Amino acid sequence: EPEVTQTPSHQVTQMGQEVILRCVPISNHLYFYWYRQILGQKVEFLVSFYNNEISEKSEIFDDQFSVERPDGSNFTLKIRSTKLEDSAMYFCASIVGTVSGYTFGSGTRLTVV
Amino acid sequence: GENVEQHPSTLSVQEGDSAVIKCTYSDSASNYFPWYKQELGKGPQLIIDIRSNVGEKKDQRIAVTLNKTAKHFSLHITETQPEDSAVYFCAASLPPGNTPLVFGKGTRLSVIA
């Protein structure tokens, strides 16, 4: 069964450093998303991406965050200057169209120290 | 915006018994309601979903019911097994189907052998 692949599985970074989280969505999917989950809390939407541009973003997704699809397969989330409160699991998800379900990756655990 | 409430936060059942998890949503325009199972260290995995033109959907031991008038939907797991132990999240989204998911806070289900 096709999967959404995320790397790395765990990233530890110092406060103030830049991090890039990587995702390879399912190949025929058209819509891409980043969600995050702070330990023990609900999954929260960050940003959606379609046709090489952001289609929607939450209030969490401030100017410290950016997304990019640099080639035909990768979808990245960059956090410019990490804060302690950015520590969370970050999930990438994709869907093929407007009538399909979301497929989530297994996540990247980001720890900011 | 949409708000999803989920109850209970924890649920313990004996193996073989049924488990029911309930969610309510606030925006009557929401039309897609998936349920996700999350095992430790993994991403959310879609287990069943329902759209607003259907009142009930079943897949083997799992069923979801939707009451549009009351704006609530429920997950029913029958003949529970130890491997059903996980955190279950409900979610809702607005049309057209690629809009971001709004998640409930999750239910930690423990099936006791």
Question: pLDDT digit string (tens) for B16-56?
Answer: 999 999 999 999 999 999 999 999 888 899 999 999 888 99
| Residue A81 contacts B, CB cutoff 8 Å | no
A contacts of B10 (beta carbons < 8 Å): none
**Helices and strands of chain A, counted as H and E runs:** 0, 11
C-alpha distance from A15 to closest chain B C-alpha (Å): 23
Average pLDDT (A34-45) is: 93
pLDDT of residue B16: 97
Asked whether the predicted pLDDT for residue A112 surpasses 90, the reply is yes
pLDDT of residue A65: 97
- Full DSSP string of B29-53: T--EEEEEEE-TTS--EEEEEEETT
Name the residue in chain A with its Cα closest to that of B31: A99
Contact B101 A98 (CB under 8 A): no
Average pLDDT (B65-71) is: 96
